[in-house]
DNA sequence: GATCTATATTCTTATATGGGAATACGGTCG
DNA sequence: CGACCGTATTCCCATATAAGAATATAGATC
Protein backbone atom coordinates (compact mmCIF):
# COMPACT_ATOMS: atom_id res chain seq x y z
CA UNK A 1 0.00 0.00 0.00
CA UNK A 2 1.60 3.17 -1.31
CA UNK A 3 -0.10 5.39 1.22
CA UNK A 4 1.38 3.69 4.26
CA UNK A 5 4.83 4.17 2.81
CA UNK A 6 4.17 7.87 2.57
CA UNK A 7 3.05 8.08 6.17
CA UNK A 8 6.10 6.13 7.28
CA UNK A 9 8.19 8.80 5.63
CA UNK A 10 6.23 11.55 7.29
CA UNK A 11 6.47 10.24 10.81
CA UNK A 12 9.85 11.75 11.64
CA UNK A 13 10.36 15.44 12.29
CA UNK A 14 13.57 15.70 10.34
CA UNK A 15 11.98 14.15 7.28
CA UNK A 16 8.97 16.40 7.63
CA UNK A 17 11.25 19.40 7.66
CA UNK A 18 13.17 18.14 4.65
CA UNK A 19 10.03 17.64 2.63
CA UNK A 20 8.59 20.92 3.75
CA UNK A 21 11.70 22.79 2.63
CA UNK A 22 11.67 20.89 -0.64
CA UNK A 23 8.24 22.24 -1.49
CA UNK A 24 10.10 25.51 -2.05
CA UNK A 25 12.39 23.91 -4.60
CA UNK A 26 15.40 21.58 -4.97
CA UNK A 27 18.29 21.79 -2.54
CA UNK A 28 21.63 20.13 -1.90
CA UNK A 29 22.68 18.36 1.27
CA UNK A 30 25.01 21.05 2.54
CA UNK A 31 22.30 23.65 2.22
CA UNK A 32 19.95 21.41 4.13
CA UNK A 33 22.56 21.32 6.85
CA UNK A 34 22.37 25.09 7.05
CA UNK A 35 18.63 25.34 6.77
CA UNK A 36 17.78 22.63 9.28
CA UNK A 37 20.87 23.17 11.42
CA UNK A 38 21.38 19.44 11.69
CA UNK A 39 24.50 17.31 11.19
CA UNK A 40 25.38 15.93 7.80
CA UNK A 41 24.83 12.27 8.65
CA UNK A 42 21.35 12.95 9.84
CA UNK A 43 20.38 14.91 6.77
CA UNK A 44 21.97 12.48 4.38
CA UNK A 45 20.44 9.42 5.97
CA UNK A 46 16.95 10.79 6.02
CA UNK A 47 17.23 11.95 2.44
CA UNK A 48 18.37 8.45 1.58
CA UNK A 49 15.38 7.06 3.39
CA UNK A 50 13.04 9.31 1.44
CA UNK A 51 14.80 8.51 -1.79
CA UNK A 52 14.58 4.75 -1.56
CA UNK A 53 10.88 5.16 -0.98
CA UNK A 54 10.41 7.46 -3.92
CA UNK A 55 9.42 10.58 -2.02
CA UNK A 56 12.36 12.53 -3.37
CA UNK A 57 14.66 12.32 -6.35
CA UNK A 58 18.35 13.08 -6.48
CA UNK A 59 20.72 14.27 -9.16
CA UNK A 60 24.44 14.74 -8.90
CA UNK A 61 25.79 18.13 -9.79
CA UNK A 62 29.53 18.00 -9.50
CA UNK A 63 30.29 17.43 -5.87
CA UNK A 64 26.78 18.24 -4.83
CA UNK A 65 23.75 16.04 -4.66
CA UNK A 66 20.64 17.98 -5.40
CA UNK A 67 17.43 16.63 -3.97
CA UNK A 68 13.99 17.50 -5.23
CA UNK A 69 10.42 16.35 -4.97
CA UNK A 70 9.48 13.85 -7.67
CA UNK A 71 8.78 15.30 -11.09
CA UNK A 72 5.51 13.41 -11.16
CA UNK A 73 4.36 12.90 -7.60
CA UNK A 74 1.49 10.49 -7.03
CA UNK A 75 -1.90 11.89 -6.14
CA UNK A 76 -1.41 10.64 -2.59
CA UNK A 77 1.91 12.37 -2.23
CA UNK A 78 0.59 15.61 -3.63
CA UNK A 79 -2.37 15.53 -1.27
CA UNK A 80 -0.20 14.87 1.73
CA UNK A 81 2.38 17.48 0.91
CA UNK A 82 -0.38 20.03 0.57
CA UNK A 83 -1.82 18.89 3.86
CA UNK A 84 1.58 19.15 5.47
CA UNK A 85 2.08 22.70 4.29
CA UNK A 86 -1.29 23.61 5.69
CA UNK A 87 -0.54 22.05 9.02
CA UNK A 88 2.82 23.69 9.61
CA UNK A 89 1.85 27.12 8.32
CA UNK A 90 1.91 28.46 11.84
CA UNK A 91 4.58 26.25 13.33
CA UNK A 92 7.60 28.21 14.52
CA UNK A 93 10.15 25.54 13.75
CA UNK A 94 9.07 24.99 10.19
CA UNK A 95 8.82 28.68 9.51
CA UNK A 96 12.30 29.20 10.91
CA UNK A 97 13.52 26.69 8.35
CA UNK A 98 11.92 28.71 5.60
CA UNK A 99 13.46 31.90 6.94
CA UNK A 100 16.92 30.37 6.85
CA UNK A 101 16.22 29.09 3.37
CA UNK A 102 15.32 32.57 2.18
CA UNK A 103 18.46 33.99 3.74
CA UNK A 104 20.43 31.35 1.88
CA UNK A 105 18.70 32.17 -1.36
CA UNK A 106 19.38 35.86 -1.05
CA UNK A 107 23.10 35.48 -0.37
CA UNK A 108 23.10 33.15 -3.31
CA UNK A 109 21.45 35.75 -5.50
CA UNK A 110 24.04 38.31 -4.43
CA UNK A 111 26.80 35.92 -5.30
CA UNK A 112 25.27 35.25 -8.67
CA UNK A 113 24.98 38.98 -9.35
CA UNK A 114 28.73 39.15 -8.75
CA UNK A 115 28.25 41.29 -5.67
CA UNK A 116 30.49 39.24 -3.47
CA UNK A 117 32.49 36.16 -4.27
CA UNK A 118 31.72 34.40 -1.00
CA UNK A 119 29.96 35.00 2.29
CA UNK A 120 31.94 36.24 5.28
CA UNK A 121 32.27 32.72 6.63
CA UNK A 122 34.19 31.68 3.58
CA UNK A 123 31.77 28.86 3.02
CA UNK A 124 31.34 27.90 -0.60
CA UNK A 125 27.79 27.85 -1.90
CA UNK A 126 26.41 25.64 -4.60
CA UNK A 127 23.99 28.12 -6.08
CA UNK B 1 5.24 18.17 17.77
CA UNK B 2 1.62 17.13 17.54
CA UNK B 3 1.78 16.51 13.82
CA UNK B 4 4.48 13.86 14.00
CA UNK B 5 2.42 11.95 16.50
CA UNK B 6 -0.43 11.91 14.04
CA UNK B 7 1.75 10.58 11.26
CA UNK B 8 3.13 7.91 13.57
CA UNK B 9 -0.42 6.77 14.09
CA UNK B 10 -1.11 6.79 10.39
CA UNK B 11 1.88 4.73 9.34
CA UNK B 12 0.33 1.33 9.92
CA UNK B 13 -2.31 -0.17 7.66
CA UNK B 14 -4.44 -1.53 10.43
CA UNK B 15 -4.60 1.83 12.15
CA UNK B 16 -5.37 3.53 8.88
CA UNK B 17 -8.27 1.18 8.37
CA UNK B 18 -9.50 1.72 11.92
CA UNK B 19 -9.48 5.47 11.53
CA UNK B 20 -11.02 5.28 8.12
CA UNK B 21 -13.91 3.20 9.40
CA UNK B 22 -14.30 5.54 12.35
CA UNK B 23 -14.97 8.46 10.04
CA UNK B 24 -18.31 6.73 9.47
CA UNK B 25 -19.12 6.76 13.17
CA UNK B 26 -18.28 5.10 16.50
CA UNK B 27 -17.79 1.36 16.69
CA UNK B 28 -16.98 -1.30 19.25
CA UNK B 29 -14.06 -3.69 19.15
CA UNK B 30 -16.00 -6.76 18.17
CA UNK B 31 -17.52 -4.96 15.22
CA UNK B 32 -14.08 -3.85 14.16
CA UNK B 33 -13.10 -7.50 14.20
CA UNK B 34 -15.87 -8.19 11.73
CA UNK B 35 -15.28 -5.17 9.57
CA UNK B 36 -11.51 -5.50 9.30
CA UNK B 37 -11.48 -9.30 9.56
CA UNK B 38 -8.56 -9.14 11.94
CA UNK B 39 -7.99 -10.87 15.31
CA UNK B 40 -9.08 -9.25 18.52
CA UNK B 41 -5.60 -8.64 19.91
CA UNK B 42 -4.57 -6.77 16.85
CA UNK B 43 -7.62 -4.54 16.84
CA UNK B 44 -7.51 -3.88 20.54
CA UNK B 45 -3.83 -3.07 20.61
CA UNK B 46 -3.97 -0.66 17.74
CA UNK B 47 -7.00 1.06 19.20
CA UNK B 48 -5.05 1.35 22.43
CA UNK B 49 -2.17 2.85 20.53
CA UNK B 50 -4.44 5.41 18.93
CA UNK B 51 -6.14 6.14 22.20
CA UNK B 52 -3.03 6.89 24.21
CA UNK B 53 -2.06 9.34 21.51
CA UNK B 54 -5.42 11.03 21.50
CA UNK B 55 -6.50 10.07 18.01
CA UNK B 56 -9.55 8.23 19.28
CA UNK B 57 -11.68 8.27 22.39
CA UNK B 58 -13.29 5.34 24.13
CA UNK B 59 -16.35 4.89 26.28
CA UNK B 60 -17.51 1.78 27.98
CA UNK B 61 -21.02 0.59 27.24
CA UNK B 62 -21.67 -2.45 29.31
CA UNK B 63 -19.32 -5.10 28.09
CA UNK B 64 -18.48 -3.16 24.99
CA UNK B 65 -15.90 -0.51 24.46
CA UNK B 66 -17.06 1.98 21.91
CA UNK B 67 -14.36 3.86 20.07
CA UNK B 68 -14.87 7.13 18.27
CA UNK B 69 -12.94 9.97 16.75
CA UNK B 70 -12.31 12.78 19.23
CA UNK B 71 -15.23 15.09 19.86
CA UNK B 72 -12.97 18.05 19.16
CA UNK B 73 -10.23 16.91 16.80
CA UNK B 74 -7.30 19.25 16.27
CA UNK B 75 -7.04 21.08 12.99
CA UNK B 76 -4.14 18.83 12.04
CA UNK B 77 -6.12 15.70 12.71
CA UNK B 78 -9.12 16.94 10.80
CA UNK B 79 -6.96 17.86 7.83
CA UNK B 80 -5.25 14.49 7.79
CA UNK B 81 -8.42 12.47 8.17
CA UNK B 82 -9.90 14.34 5.25
CA UNK B 83 -6.75 13.70 3.27
CA UNK B 84 -6.89 10.04 4.17
CA UNK B 85 -10.47 9.70 3.01
CA UNK B 86 -9.53 11.30 -0.27
CA UNK B 87 -6.58 9.01 -0.75
CA UNK B 88 -8.37 5.73 -0.13
CA UNK B 89 -11.53 6.61 -2.01
CA UNK B 90 -10.55 4.18 -4.74
CA UNK B 91 -8.66 1.65 -2.71
CA UNK B 92 -10.25 -1.80 -2.80
CA UNK B 93 -9.26 -2.81 0.69
CA UNK B 94 -10.61 0.26 2.37
CA UNK B 95 -13.82 0.17 0.41
CA UNK B 96 -14.30 -3.45 1.32
CA UNK B 97 -14.13 -2.40 4.95
CA UNK B 98 -16.88 0.11 4.35
CA UNK B 99 -18.98 -2.49 2.58
CA UNK B 100 -18.73 -4.84 5.53
CA UNK B 101 -19.54 -1.98 7.83
CA UNK B 102 -22.71 -1.22 5.92
CA UNK B 103 -23.71 -4.85 6.00
CA UNK B 104 -23.23 -4.79 9.75
CA UNK B 105 -25.30 -1.66 10.10
CA UNK B 106 -28.16 -3.09 8.12
CA UNK B 107 -28.40 -6.32 10.10
CA UNK B 108 -28.28 -4.13 13.13
CA UNK B 109 -31.16 -2.04 11.85
CA UNK B 110 -33.18 -5.17 11.23
CA UNK B 111 -32.48 -6.38 14.73
CA UNK B 112 -33.53 -3.06 16.15
CA UNK B 113 -36.76 -3.15 14.19
CA UNK B 114 -37.47 -6.45 15.90
CA UNK B 115 -37.26 -8.33 12.63
CA UNK B 116 -34.96 -11.01 13.91
CA UNK B 117 -33.50 -11.51 17.32
CA UNK B 118 -30.08 -12.51 16.07
CA UNK B 119 -28.26 -13.12 12.80
CA UNK B 120 -27.99 -16.65 11.46
CA UNK B 121 -24.55 -17.07 12.95
CA UNK B 122 -25.97 -16.61 16.40
CA UNK B 123 -23.45 -13.84 17.01
CA UNK B 124 -24.68 -11.18 19.36
CA UNK B 125 -24.50 -7.64 18.16
CA UNK B 126 -23.98 -4.57 20.24
CA UNK B 127 -26.17 -2.24 18.20
C1' DG C 1 -21.40 -16.10 43.51
C1' DA C 2 -20.35 -18.72 39.20
C1' DT C 3 -20.07 -18.10 34.58
C1' DC C 4 -19.93 -15.96 30.26
C1' DT C 5 -18.62 -12.14 27.13
C1' DA C 6 -16.03 -8.36 25.40
C1' DT C 7 -11.85 -6.28 25.88
C1' DA C 8 -7.17 -5.34 27.70
C1' DT C 9 -2.62 -6.74 29.13
C1' DT C 10 1.54 -9.43 29.51
C1' DC C 11 5.23 -12.08 27.47
C1' DT C 12 7.90 -13.30 23.79
C1' DT C 13 10.14 -12.91 19.31
C1' DA C 14 11.55 -10.68 15.15
C1' DT C 15 12.33 -6.54 12.93
C1' DA C 16 12.76 -1.56 12.12
C1' DT C 17 14.20 2.79 13.70
C1' DG C 18 17.05 6.98 14.94
C1' DG C 19 21.38 8.85 16.16
C1' DG C 20 26.39 9.56 16.20
C1' DA C 21 31.41 8.40 15.23
C1' DA C 22 34.32 6.97 11.97
C1' DT C 23 35.22 5.85 7.40
C1' DA C 24 34.57 5.21 2.44
C1' DC C 25 33.44 7.09 -2.01
C1' DG C 26 32.88 10.15 -6.18
C1' DG C 27 34.27 14.40 -8.25
C1' DT C 28 36.98 18.58 -8.63
C1' DC C 29 40.97 21.31 -8.72
C1' DG C 30 45.70 22.56 -8.36
C1' DC D 1 48.51 12.31 -9.19
C1' DG D 2 47.36 14.00 -4.67
C1' DA D 3 44.77 16.98 -1.63
C1' DC D 4 40.28 18.42 -0.80
C1' DC D 5 35.22 18.78 -0.66
C1' DG D 6 30.51 17.16 -0.43
C1' DT D 7 28.05 13.14 0.37
C1' DA D 8 27.09 8.23 1.45
C1' DT D 9 27.86 4.15 4.11
C1' DT D 10 29.16 1.22 7.87
C1' DC D 11 29.16 -0.01 12.62
C1' DC D 12 27.23 0.25 17.02
C1' DC D 13 23.82 1.25 20.47
C1' DA D 14 19.37 2.13 22.42
C1' DT D 15 14.67 2.12 21.66
C1' DA D 16 10.24 1.33 19.33
C1' DT D 17 7.33 -1.60 16.77
C1' DA D 18 4.19 -5.44 15.15
C1' DA D 19 2.27 -9.80 15.89
C1' DG D 20 0.41 -13.79 18.26
C1' DA D 21 -0.40 -16.89 22.36
C1' DA D 22 -1.90 -16.96 26.71
C1' DT D 23 -3.88 -14.75 30.48
C1' DA D 24 -6.18 -11.18 33.16
C1' DT D 25 -9.95 -7.93 33.90
C1' DA D 26 -14.54 -5.62 33.99
C1' DG D 27 -19.11 -5.96 33.59
C1' DA D 28 -23.53 -8.71 32.62
C1' DT D 29 -26.47 -12.61 33.39
C1' DC D 30 -28.29 -16.53 35.51
DSSP track, B20-82: HHHTT--EEHHHHHHHHT--HHHHHHHHHHHHHTTS-EEEEETTEEEEE--SS--HHHHHHHH
Chain B touched by A74 (CB under 8 Å): no
Q: Which nucleotide's C1' atom has the smallest distance to the CA of A30?
A: D6
Split at pLDDT 50, 70, 90, the class of A29 is very high
pLDDT for res B8: 98
Check residue A116 and give its pLDDT. 44
Distances (CA, A) of A124 to A30, A108, A111, A127: 10, 10, 10, 9
Find chain B residues with C-beta within 8 A of A10's C-beta.
7, 10-11
Which pLDDT score, from 0 to 100, does residue A127 have? Answer: 60
pLDDT of residue A22: 98
* Whether B91 and A7 lie within 8 Å, measured CB to CB: no
pLDDT score recorded for residue B123: 39
**Minimal Cβ distance to B83: which of A1, A13, A80:** A80
Task: Kindly state the DSSP code that residue A55 receives in the 8-state scheme.
Answer: S
Q: Would the pLDDT of A59 be above 60?
A: yes
pLDDT > 70? residue A64: yes
Q: Look at residue B93 and give its three-state secondary structure.
A: helix
Nearest-angstrom CA–CA distance, A32 and B8 = 24
Residue A57 parent element (H or E): strand A57-61
Q: Which residues of B6-42 are buried (b: 16+ CB within 10 A; e: fewer)?
A: bbbbbbbbbbbbbbbbbeeeebbbbbbeebbebeeee
pLDDT the model gives residue A9 = 98
pLDDT category of residue A126 using cuts at 50, 70 and 90 = low
Inter-chain contacts counted by CB atoms under 8 A, chains A and B: 52
Give the pLDDT mean for A36-55.
98
Average the pLDDT over A97-104 and give the result.
94
Q: How far is the CA of B89 from the C1' of C19 (A)?
A: 38
CB atoms within 10 A of CB B2: 13
Q: What is the per-residue pLDDT across B77-99, written as a single tens digit (0 to 9) for each?
A: 999 999 999 999 999 999 999 99
Amino acid sequence: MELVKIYQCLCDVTRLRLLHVLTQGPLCVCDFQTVLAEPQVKISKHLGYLRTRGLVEATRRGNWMVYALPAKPSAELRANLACLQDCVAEDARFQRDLARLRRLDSTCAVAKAGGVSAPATGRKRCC
